Chains A and B, each alone.
Chain A
Amino acid sequence: MSKKADPKKVRYEVQWERFGYAMISPSMIFLILVATLPLVSLLIMSFFRIDLTYPLDNGWVGFENYLEMAKDERFWYSIKLTAIYTISTVFLQVAVGLALAMAFFRGFRGQGVMRVSVLLPMILAPVVVGLAWRTLILTPEYGILDYVSILLGFGSKPWLVAPTWAMISVIIIHTWQWTPFAFLVFLASLNAMPQEPLEAALLDTRSAWQRFRYIILPMLQPAIIIVVIFRTMIALRAFAAIFSATGGGPGTATEILNLYAYRVSFNSLDLGYGAALGTVLLLITVGISLFFFRMRRSSTG
């Protein structure tokens, strides 16, 4: 009818839908251009040989990069390190964060001071964190932690120079930086919890452990799942703190997949193989996040 001809006279819902597209398109176009297209390029690059140090042989190689990867012990070692790094840091963050949240929830004074001190590690540059740990904290004798270790009679430790110790150190650094997140989320969920079940639990349970195990833990489950998801994704992106603390070394002792791909791409300038490693990392990340989405959907019903 005549009303439809006049563009100013549209229904409210139609007007809103158009408005929505107008508001959404800049960001979507932007993300497609600067994120999706590069990721597609990554996939394509992984089928090429792109060695900037020796460009003569560059060209299409099909699956050769992937076949090479299958035989590459350094790659499998980096996968193993990535798994160890991710699982241990996420586990430590949840465990320590949960313990601290349980200790401090419910009318604890000094939360303001606490807030700043736990917020800081999360928002400081990972580079500064990594470098500060490498120098001020873990340097033999003069580093604070090493100094304390000597004072307590444990002696100086090869924090960043012995392979196993280096791995432990980077795990400690990551845990130090990110446990506050788990702690704050758990604290917030504990504070948001309805009080009645907790009070009822005082009558129904015998010990604090039972209360924790049968009442609080089930109520915290959604928060724990969220924390595990967030922290896993962040652990899989870890780079700057390790790079600045150990550079992936000694040797390849802390060379998680990110660092390996970096070294291949930007130290050896073998971008084709680097792209193949990046693609594997992308697939791992997508796979894990899809798994988490499923898990979360089934747990929230």
Chain B
Amino acid sequence: MAGVILKAVFKTFGKTTAIKNFSLEIDDGEFVVLVGPSGCGKSTMLRLIAGLETASSGEIYIGDQLVNEVHPRDRDISMVFQNYALYPRMTVYENMSFSLRMRKIPKAEIERIVRQTADLLRIGQLLDRKPGQLSGGQRQRVALGRSIVRNPQVFLFDEPLSNLDAKLRIAMRAELLLLHQRLKTTIIYVTHDQLEAMTMGNRIVVMKDGLIQQVDAPDAVYDQPLNRFVAGFIGSPTMNFIDCRVVSEKGDLYATTPGIRLKIPESHARHAEKYIDQEAILGIRPEHLTVSTNNRHLDAADRFKAVVRVIENAGSEKLVHIRNENDTLVARLERHIRLKTEETVDFTARMDSAHLFDKQTEHTIF
């Protein structure tokens, strides 16, 4: 097993640059997820690590070997593709043993490894089938099995779950995590699904336009996003962004819009000071908006009034679309709260969990 080190990796295709200055150290045994919208370069990065493409500049190490010029088969990695890439005319057994046969491993040894892996993945009874006779979930397992048999130093996963239906996807997520706990092999996992990234990775690498936006543990990415893009990309429903103005009154700072006036907590205020009388973007996650419980402090500094426009009942919770002046926000409320559309309601924002972003650079202010 080995870690992976990426140093200032660039990749250009003709005039477009797919990867810009990508540096990252992945520890041995870590489960790292590259996540971002399509075209962000995450799959390209994975292919560079696999050796299917060659970096334009920069260095890629697997273990302590510089692998830029090394052929994929000699990198001691294995890869699971989005479409599984199972060899259609081979049986499951032949698929799983292919890499071992290519490496001239003795037959008996191959047999032992394949059976063992098949048992691990509970596909022992499928070994004589062809990929065309398997369900989506079974194909997924065979693809996994094919990559496990070689006992590589690093597993590369390219959106392996996105061809599965929602239920199966959730089950496979847990199963992959169990597998990782058991094998303890380094995994680099690419997905466009932020929820998948949050639930699976030890660390998440958020990418956009070929650039790393943030590298952190899931909670840190969620709670302390480095910029507006990460804040909006991670979390569902997405964070509410409100164009506001920072004003100072009697020593306190407020984020204000024509209809909203929210006090910036003292703990955050010093970060916002240099934005006084300037535009900024206020970010509040839907779960940080609640219906105010009593009317005693109508002018309280963390409240605002809004009109209920749409109520989405998600069973365990309610997603309420509300409107204040020109701003539309989404609040995630508990299911027992009863609201009517077009009703004007008093909402409370948990400002200690809110964020403020620079309007030009979109960097996080707090």
Contact = CB atoms under 8 A, between A and B. Distances in A.
A7 to B, nearest CB: 12
A9 B70 contact: yes
Contact of B71 (A1, A4, A9): A9
B74 interface: yes
B103 to A, nearest CB: 14
Which of under 10, 10 to 19, 20 to 34, or 35 or more describes the interface residues of B? under 10
B51 A9 contact: no
A107 B115 CA distance: 49
A221 interface: no
B71 A15 contact: yes
Contacts of B71: 9-12, 15
A1 B70 CA distance: 12
B39 to A, nearest CB: 21
22 contacts: A1-B69, A3-B69, A3-B70, A4-B69, A9-B69, A9-B70, A9-B71, A9-B74, A10-B71, A11-B51, A11-B54, A11-B69, A11-B70, A11-B71, A12-B51, A12-B52, A12-B54, A12-B71, A12-B72, A13-B53, A13-B54, A15-B71
Contacts of B69: 1, 3-4, 9, 11
Interface string B44-78: 00000001111000000000000001111010000
A10 B74 CA distance: 10
Nearest to A3: B69
Interface of A: 1, 3-4, 9-13, 15
Given A9-B71, A12-B52, A15-B71, 14 more contacts: A1-B69, A3-B69, A4-B69, A9-B70, A9-B74, A10-B71, A11-B51, A11-B54, A11-B69, A12-B51, A12-B54, A12-B71, A13-B53, A13-B54
A172 to B, nearest CB: 47
Interface of B: 51-54, 69-72, 74
Contacts of B70: 3, 9, 11
A11 to B, nearest CB: 6
Contacts of A12: 51-52, 54, 71-72
Contacts of A4: 69
Nearest to A16: B52
Contacts of A3: 69-70
Contacts of A9: 69-71, 74
B50 to A, nearest CB: 9
Interface centre among B51, B70, B71 (most CB of A within 10 A): B71
A1 B68 CA distance: 12
Top 10 closest pairs, chain A to chain B, by CB: A12-B51, A12-B72, A3-B69, A12-B71, A11-B54, A11-B69, A13-B54, A12-B52, A9-B71, A11-B71
A15 B54 CA distance: 12
B67 to A, nearest CB: 10
Contacts of B53: 13
A9 B69 CA distance: 8
Contacts of B74: 9
B18 to A, nearest CB: 15
Which of A3, A12, A15: most chain B CB closer than 10 A?
A12
Contacts of B51: 11-12
B169 to A, nearest CB: 29
Nearest to A13: B54
B23 to A, nearest CB: 22
B19 to A, nearest CB: 16
B99 to A, nearest CB: 16
Looking at B51, B69, B72, the one whose CB has the most chain A CB atoms below 10 A away is: B69
Contacts of A1: 69
